[in-house]
Amino acid sequence: MKKPKIGKLHKEFMDVINSLIKRKIGKEPIQAIILGGSVAREDETNHSDIDIVFYIKGKDLPKNPRKFYKFRGKYIEEHYFPFEKLKSRDILPEAKILYDKSKKLKIPKFNENLAKANFKEELVRVEKYQKLAEKQFKQGNLENSFNYLYGNGSPAFILIHALPQRFNLPFPSFRLLGSLKKIDKEKKSNIYRLVEKFYSFNNKNKKQILRDFKKAYLFMNHIKRNENNTSCNLGFFDKCKIKYNFNGLKLTFKDYPFVYSYRFIVGCLAMWAFEDHLEEKIQFKLREFLLKVLGLDNLTKELIQEKLKLSRELVKESKKIK
């Protein structure tokens, strides 16, 4: 009897991981290795990256503790952290311990009380940014209000990430919204529909949205490279990461509802367009990209009012199931 395809795909990923580990352990003083994300859960796709953390003693930490690169045909999201700060309780239940020199680490079981406490803290953050968005709107600052709704501190974005963790459901990428559907079904809530409406805009031209988002992304890469001209890896803005994210967006647009990619794109553009430290002409150019993607000539009072209402409803609905 043939093994299912997912098993074959997982083996491909694990072969790459084992090869990477063999190379690292032979050269570096590694104390522990933990695998996270979709590969740890064994629900990876062909486009998945490998989220792997190498723990070493603090004195041995590399200058660049985070890298994103391609190795044997797979994308690697690599992090280094000090081993002295690693505690078993900090390891996610979905993770896998691939190497433990101390032989003392254990994967913790899902803790309902801790999950509730963490979610309560996230709700405090959500309400803080919701109030800031409301305040800016009342003062007539439409751009600032939009920034709080979709950029840094976005209540919807925080909730999309916090809710799956609260119920121990798959966390990264497009699976976030799939998890919301499961929560709605079980709790008889209306969260996914509100998220979908919140991240819906008039523009449905996928090719144009992806084209302009890629232009904005590469533009930000240029800005970050000028700011960090001695860095060999820019993390989220590195060209390798841009290529990976952009290809992922194309696949998501193809295989999933429109909102699955749109919430990532709008969130990124909002954060970039309102970065305070950027020159005014750069901010203006980024806001042009944002408006093009939204299909708008400008941010209107009516639009912000509608989105504030949806955000309020989303917060209220999420608090019911805390």
Domain of 55 in residue numbering reads as: 5-100
User: How does residue 6 score in pLDDT terms, banded at 50, 70 and 90?
Assistant: low
Asked if 88 and 186 sit in the same domain, the reply is no
Query: What integer is the mean pLDDT of 221-248?
Result: 90
Asked if 178 and 235 sit in the same domain, the reply is yes
pLDDT > 90: percent of the chain:
77
User: How does residue 2 score in pLDDT terms, banded at 50, 70 and 90?
Assistant: very low
Q: Which of 67, 100, 133 is the last residue of a domain?
A: 100
Asked if 133 and 232 sit in the same domain, the reply is yes
How much is the pLDDT for 92? 85
Asked if 120 and 94 sit in the same domain, the reply is no
CATH of the domain at 27: 3.30.460.10
How much is the pLDDT for 228? 87
How much is the pLDDT for 232? 77
pLDDT digits (tens, 9 = 90+) for 201-226: 999 999 999 999 999 999 999 999 99
Residue 183 has pLDDT above 80, yes or no: yes
Reduced to 3 states (helix: H, G, I; strand: E, B; else coil), residue 78 is strand
How much is the pLDDT for 178? 87
pLDDT digits (tens, 9 = 90+) for 157-171: 999 999 998 998 876
Look at the chain and count its residues.
322
Residue 5 has pLDDT above 80, yes or no: no
- DSSP β-ladder status, 49-56 and 66-71: unpaired
pLDDT digits (tens, 9 = 90+) for 90-145: 888 889 999 999 999 999 898 899 999 999 999 999 999 999 999 999 999 999 99
How much is the pLDDT for 173? 56
Asked if 203 and 309 sit in the same domain, the reply is yes
Write the CB contacts of 5 (distance below 8 Å, at least 6 apart in sequence): none
Domain membership flag for residue 210: yes
Asked if 198 and 90 sit in the same domain, the reply is no
Residue 280 has pLDDT above 50, yes or no: yes
pLDDT digits (tens, 9 = 90+) for 28-55: 999 999 999 899 989 898 999 999 999 9
Q: Which of 76, 100, 124 is the last residue of a domain?
A: 100
User: How does residue 172 score in pLDDT terms, banded at 50, 70 and 90?
Assistant: low
Residue 89 has pLDDT above 90, yes or no: no
Domain membership flag for residue 105: no
Query: What integer is the mean pLDDT of 266-293?
Result: 94
Asked if 187 and 315 sit in the same domain, the reply is yes
With residues binned 3-state (H G I as helix, E B as strand, rest as coil), the percentages for the chain, rounded to 5, are 60, 10, 25
Residue 289 has pLDDT above 70, yes or no: yes
Write the CB contacts of 297 (distance below 8 Å, at least 6 apart in sequence): 291
Residue 200 has pLDDT above 90, yes or no: yes
Q: Which of 100, 134, 158 is the last residue of a domain?
A: 100
The number of distinct structural domains making up the chain is: 2
Residue 152 has pLDDT above 90, yes or no: no
Write the CB contacts of 160 (distance below 8 Å, at least 6 apart in sequence): 176, 177, 180, 195, 263
Residue 18 has pLDDT above 80, yes or no: yes
Query: What integer is the mean pLDDT of 247-258?
Result: 91
Asked if 24 and 123 sit in the same domain, the reply is no
- DSSP β-ladder status, 66-71 and 30-36: unpaired
Write the CB contacts of 10 (distance below 8 Å, at least 6 apart in sequence): 39, 42, 44
Asked if 123 and 269 sit in the same domain, the reply is yes
Asked if 262 and 130 sit in the same domain, the reply is yes
- The count of other CB atoms within 10 Å of the CB of residue 91 is 19
Domain membership flag for residue 127: yes
Asked if 228 and 281 sit in the same domain, the reply is yes
Asked if 262 and 221 sit in the same domain, the reply is yes
Q: What are phi and psi of 296, to 5 degrees?
A: -125, 155
Residue 229 has pLDDT above 90, yes or no: no
